[in-house]
């Protein structure tokens, strides 16, 4: 009987320790799971904050460029139109007065066009293809270099924020080519598939060494901006062989 009592005590003791072990194990699992949940939530908050910061910076940069453009237009274009208007309206000749009225109409039209550019809502009303073609045409018109633009597939509809980032990255790629490449030809292609949007920017210019830090916004910064909207940027270049920049944005998160 005494032995049976000891065996029972040992079994109960073992059962107690086993139960204690199981409870401890469950508590540890719950604590680890909770910790991971908190870490994941913090990661999500950080990504959201980075995304919002990227969008804000892009909007500010585009607004600054827009204001610079508006300033030049006011001085060079509208200012000249107003001067001509003043000269014509100061004349007593009917044909000059009529010309002055026509110029006033042109001034009103130009001011309305400028007022639209001050609001970034224009981004929602233009397709990426239209915008890229417009920017490349500017280079053709000033005779900087030849450009070609090719589009394949039906363009993907993007939300304003992601479109802004793509526009800004495109602007910087174009600016870098203008400032540093000495290119004779710039080729841009946009391929829209069921999976993603793929934008390729290629020039036949000087190329550069990727290991050397860049000026301006910097290629690393542009790459991070693409990552913020779920995309990526890949660069292929070396001195004397031109540069190819490929931007990819998955359709599932566009």
Residue ranges per domain, the chain?
1-118, 126-253
What's the confidence (pLDDT) of residue 216? 47
What is the pLDDT at residue 190? 93
What integer pLDDT is reported at residue 2 of this predicted model? 55
Cross-strand bridge partners of residue 148: 187
Of 223, 253, 77, the C-alpha closest to 156 is 253
What is the residue-level pLDDT of the chain in tens, covering all 254 positions?
A: 555 666 666 677 777 778 888 888 888 888 887 888 777 777 766 666 676 677 777 777 777 776 776 776 676 677 777 887 888 888 888 888 888 888 888 888 878 777 766 667 777 778 899 889 988 988 888 778 889 999 998 887 888 888 888 988 898 888 888 888 788 899 999 999 888 899 999 998 888 877 766 554 567 788 888 888 889 999 988 887 889 999 999 976 44
Secondary structure (H, E, C), 133-144: HHHHHHHHHHCC
CA dihedral 60, 111, 130, 51 (to 10 degrees): 20
Q: What is the pLDDT of residue 245?
A: 93
The answer to whether the beta carbons of residues 188 and 201 sit under 8 Å apart is yes
Burial of 169 per CB tally in 10 Å (0-12, 13-18, 19+) = buried
- Topology of 126-253 in CATH? Heat Shock Protein 90 (3.30.565)
């Amino acid at each position: 009987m005494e032995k049976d009592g000891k065996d029972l005590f040992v079994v109960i003791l073992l059962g107690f320790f086993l139960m204690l072990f199981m409870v401890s194990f469950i508590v540890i699992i719950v604590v680890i799971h909770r910790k991971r949940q908190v870490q994941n939530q913090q990661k999500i908050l950080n990504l959201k904050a980075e995304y919002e910061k990227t969008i804000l910076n892009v909007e500010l940069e585009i607004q600054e460029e827009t204001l610079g453009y508006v300033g030049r237009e006011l001085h060079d274009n509208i200012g000249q139109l107003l001067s001509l208007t003043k000269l014509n309206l100061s004349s007593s000749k009917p044909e000059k007065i009529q010309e002055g009225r026509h110029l006033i109409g042109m001034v009103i039209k130009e001011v309305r066009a400028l007022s639209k550019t001050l609001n970034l809502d224009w981004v929602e009303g233009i397709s990426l293809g239209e915008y890229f073609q417009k920017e490349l045409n500017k280079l053709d018109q000033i005779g900087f270099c030849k450009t070609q633009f090719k589009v394949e597939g039906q363009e993907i509809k993007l939300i304003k924020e992601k479109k802004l980032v793509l526009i800004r990255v495109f602007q910087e790629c174009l600016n870098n080519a203008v400032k540093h490449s000495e290119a004779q030809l710039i080729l841009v292609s946009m391929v829209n598939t069921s999976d993603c949007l793929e934008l390729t920017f290629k020039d036949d210019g000087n190329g550069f060494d990727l290991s050397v830090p860049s000026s301006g916004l910097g290629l690393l910064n542009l790459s991070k901006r693409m990552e913020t909207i779920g995309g990526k940027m890949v660069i292929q270049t070396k001195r004397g062989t031109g540069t190819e920049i490929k931007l990819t944005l998955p359709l599932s998160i566009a």
